[in-house]
Chains A and B, each alone.
Chain A
Amino acid sequence: MNILNSFVLLFAAAGAYGTALMFGTMGEILTEKSGNLNLGVEGIMYMGGIFGLIAPNLYESAVGEGNANPFVAILLAIIAAFAVGALAGALFSFITVTLRANQNVTGLAMTTFGTGVAKFAGELRRLKVGGYVTLSNRLKFAFDKHIMPDFLKKIPVIGKILFDQSEFFYLAIIVAILLHLFLTKTKTGLYLRAVGESPVTADAAGIDITKYKYLATIVGGGISAIGGMVYTMTTAGCVWIEASLAGTGWLAVALVIFCTWRPLKSTWSSVLFGALMIMYLRIIIKGFPIELYKILPYVVTIIVLVITSMRNIRDKQPPASLGVNYFREDR
């Protein structure tokens, strides 16, 4: 019973980090469905993380601490993060779709650039406010509000895991469902998948490849960036600590493979990886060095990568044109 209890607490706590991963993963799923492999998720989530904090911070200092409306603050954070991620997606698309540069290297450049921009902006803001960039306690509370009613939280086992979560957790689940419906049930979603699977066929069918690639990458970048914002505003407690976000974006890219490009699968797999990330804090194994324990999620990721590639199941493959640029004259 004690072990079960600590696992329940582990997964309940994993929901917060899992939510950040969920947004990062879903954004990249959408991007990759168009055939664009954006390896810059790390940089994009970094930028989302800082601009999602700076926006409500600016708002609060503009209207005064007591007058800030929590709802407006949350909305501003989402909009700012989405906007900066969308810009990054547009830049990525411009370089890879319009200028046809190599997607892998462009993504790596985006990671360098994005983390650089985020650290730069965070440092500038820190100098400006003269201390940690953060929010008042009232707003902090609003960002990490567990909105579900108490009777749901009290359901044994699943109550804590499913209902004792911040509002962003549920927002992420809604986005996952919408994304799933979009990709599988709508005509536009079908066209988008066609672009990712076989741009030649899609082009012949009269689908505007460029438009689809741009839009998917822009919206995908925006969604990923929200993940960074969620991380700063919930797990990191509305404080900008630049080193703590490191690796999250890369984990999201790996999760896309783990959940085989399916948004619904990204929900539970993100929480699972969130649990792996914090397991060393919650489930202590006596005599096992904590620093070696901390590398567990990365070892698991490698094992997952190897197993998925070994099984090689037909309907669990990446979009066929992933990472390859399309140029009509090359056919």
Chain B
Amino acid sequence: MKEKNKTPLIRLAKRVKTDMMSPRKVWAIRIGSIVFAFILGMIPIIMAGQNPFQSYGIIISGALSKPGYIRQTVKRAIPLLGVALAIAPCFKMKFWNIGAEGQITMGAIFASAIAIWFQNSLPAFPLLMLMMLAGILGGAIWAFIPGFFKAKYNTNETLFTLMMNYIAIGIVRWLQGGPWEGRPGTQIIPMFSDKARLPNVFGIYCGWIIVLVLVVVVHIYMNYTKHGYEVAVIGDSENTARYAGMNVGWIMMRTMLLSGSICGIVGWMLVSGANGTLNADVAGGVGFTAITVAWLSQLNSFAMIIIASMLAIIGKGSATLQTKLGVPASVADIVSGILLFCMLGCEFFINYKLIFRKKSDKEVHA
């Protein structure tokens, strides 16, 4: 028997500063992995007995082929982008805030309270501003509670924020069927008066302008301020941050307050712009899809515009796909799951180097 070859077929080495991949190559890998994900996404479509290329065509045309469709797609993208911006600082800090759903809902509840109580007594502009402030307050409170306990006692933030979602949604259900119910028995809160509605710009409520402003604000906050720097340091190493004299607990709470405030703004926009009223479905999964948006864009604010639009197109288009070809619309969830898997996996090929066994090694050992 030959002597056993000691060198493994593939070895791994972490890339260090000196042999980092060129940015162009990095983006080629990332875009390649997105393309790969869409190829994998064809599998469920084929299993449903449909032609994947035709189906992707329907998804795109169902989202973009008519002005009305485009408006609906943009309407989907607005909260996605807003919430992705909100959770980006948390995720940068490795604070796993999956409670955006509840923070949106709480912001929506607070904003709706103002609308319901004051829509007959205040003029439009101050009413809307008051609603926004209330929304910010609601979202911020809902985010601060888990942030506080994480900072103080290291309470598991993933589960805490998640449970806060169910509570916020439960409160809306109660309001819907109780104190704020319109006609008894309907379980519906009546539409707000026009004064409590956000005006339209180019046929879509002006939330899209607000989120685009937020893109710039969050980009500056994350990259050019002391706060943003502190968040990045904590994300890399909490101990480093402590040694550097940062007040980690306070920074966590502060970041959660910011995150919750932005979610609250989104909640306010949803009730006063998109829906015109409050219901238990107000967040409708946006808080979770936004995690995909934030992570696929590598927490880069500008990339989020593209990714949020992409996921909005898939979401809107797959609804069309279901009506046209009978492919269940949940294919959108499968595709976004696959996208995330591929994006997570591809980072490995960026950060690590695969070293294959050289011929010469073999000869030496043989």
Contacts and interface: CB of A to CB of B under 8 A. Distances in A.
Contacts of B126: none
A302 B159 CA distance: 8
Contact of B164 (A99, A127, A302, A310): A302
A225 to B, nearest CB: 16
20 contacts: A99-B347, A99-B348, A101-B348, A108-B98, A110-B337, A112-B333, A115-B333, A120-B48, A123-B328, A124-B48, A124-B328, A291-B174, A294-B170, A295-B167, A298-B163, A298-B167, A302-B160, A305-B160, A306-B160, A310-B155
Interface of A: 39, 43, 91, 95, 98-102, 104-106, 108-117, 119-120, 123-124, 127, 247, 250, 253-254, 257, 289, 291-292, 294-295, 298-299, 301-302, 305-306, 309-310, 312, 327, 329-330
Nearest to A256: B159
Contacts of A329: 12-14
A291 B177 contact: yes
Given A101-B347, A119-B330, A294-B170, A112 B295 contact: no
A309 B345 contact: no
A327 B14 contact: yes
A16 to B, nearest CB: 21
Contacts of A98: 348
What's the interface size class on B, roughly? 35 or more
B166 A309 contact: no
Interface of B: 12-14, 44, 47-48, 91, 94, 96, 98, 149, 153-156, 158-160, 162-164, 166-167, 170-171, 173-174, 177-178, 288-289, 291-292, 295, 326, 328, 330-338, 340-341, 344-345, 347-348, 351-352
A264 to B, nearest CB: 22
Say what secondary structure dominates the interface of chain A: helix
A120 B288 contact: no
B158 A105 contact: no
Given A113-B333, A115-B333, A291 B173 contact: yes
Contacts of A257: 156, 159
A114 B160 CA distance: 22
A295 B162 CA distance: 12
A124 B322 CA distance: 11
Nearest to A42: B162
A254 B163 contact: yes
Contacts of A109: 292, 337, 340-341, 344
A69 B166 CA distance: 41
Nearest to B351: A100
Nearest to B332: A116
Contacts of A292: 170-171, 174
Contact of A112 (B167, B177, B292, B326): B292
A250 B159 contact: yes
B38 to A, nearest CB: 15
A112 B288 contact: yes
A124 B329 CA distance: 11
A294 B12 CA distance: 51
B25 to A, nearest CB: 18
Contact of B47 (A102, A124, A309): A124
A104 B348 contact: no
Nearest first, the 9 A-B pairs at minimum CB distance are A113-B337, A116-B333, A109-B340, A295-B170, A123-B328, A101-B344, A119-B330, A291-B174, A116-B334
Contacts of A111: 288
A105 B330 contact: no
A295 B167 CA distance: 6
B345 A101 contact: yes
**Residue picked from A119, A123, A291, most chain B C-beta under 10 Å:** A291
B163 A105 contact: no
Given A119-B330, A295-B167, A289 B174 contact: yes
Nearest to A107: B158
B91 to A, nearest CB: 8
B166 A298 contact: yes
B291 A116 contact: no
A34 B351 CA distance: 24
A289 B175 CA distance: 10
